[in-house]
């Protein structure tokens, strides 16, 4: 599989990721890496990165990694831990690593860090392979 071509296709075709500014920076058989700029609209009332944004970045990063296995996927389960507040960060960096690639289910550990390298959160996500092709509409 040409992971670089798939990475470019995802960045050009995934409307949700484009809307929130999330970009796939690396894609391989073992996982994915993404980045997302943080602006004040993604802060909670305490001026830290909103927990929903952190979860979204983690889920999308894991989903992209699972998608690269050749099937459309959906999230079926997750366990998520918020570890540090996202203070004064301009960008989030996420990394998904495959734990298990099965016939129907795939499990990934996903780590989200701020632009100083501080681990903000960690999740384990399970994705189900759907019976539709892994492609984007034209």
Confidence class for position 138, pLDDT limits 50, 70, 90? low
- Percentage of residues in the chain having pLDDT higher than 70: 98
Let me know: does 61 contact 25? Beta carbons within 8 Å: no
What residue has token string 């894991």? 62
Q: How much is the pTM?
A: 0.95
pLDDT digits (tens, 9 = 90+) for 32-55: 999 999 999 999 999 999 999 999
pLDDT digits (tens, 9 = 90+) for 71-80: 999 999 999 9
Domain-by-domain residue ranges, the chain? 3-133
DSSP 64-87: HHHHTTSEEEEEEEEEEEE-S--B
The distance of Cα 19 from the centroid of its chain, to the nearest Å, equals: 14
Distance in angstroms between the alpha carbons of the first and the last residue of the chain: 20
pLDDT digits (tens, 9 = 90+) for 120-134: 999 999 999 998 877
96-121 core/surface letters (b: 16 or more CB in 10 A; e: else): bebeebeeeebbbbbbbbbeeeeebb
pLDDT digits (tens, 9 = 90+) for 54-113: 999 999 999 999 999 999 999 999 999 999 999 999 999 999 999 999 999 999 999 999
| CA-closest candidate to residue 82, choices 100, 58, 60 | 58
Second-level CATH architecture of 3-133: Roll (3.10)
C-alpha gyration radius of the chain: 14
- Name 53's Cβ contacts closer than 8 Å, sequence gap at least 6: 20, 36, 38, 42, 92
């Amino acid at each position: 599989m040409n992971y670089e071509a798939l990475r470019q296709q995802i960045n050009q075709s995934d409307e949700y990721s484009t809307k929130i500014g999330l970009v796939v920076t690396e894609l391989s058989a073992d996982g994915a890496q993404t980045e997302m700029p943080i602006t004040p609209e993604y802060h909670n009332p305490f001026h830290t990165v909103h927990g929903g944004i952190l979860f979204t970045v983690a889920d999308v990063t894991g989903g992209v990694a699972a998608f690269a296995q050749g099937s459309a996927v959906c999230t079926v389960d997750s366990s998520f831990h918020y570890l540090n507040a996202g203070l004064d960060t301009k960008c989030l960096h996420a990394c998904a690593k495959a734990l298990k690639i099965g016939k129907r289910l795939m499990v990934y550990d996903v780590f989200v860090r701020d632009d100083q390298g501080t681990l903000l959160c960690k999740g384990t996500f399970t994705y189900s392979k759907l019976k539709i092709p892994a492609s984007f509409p034209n």
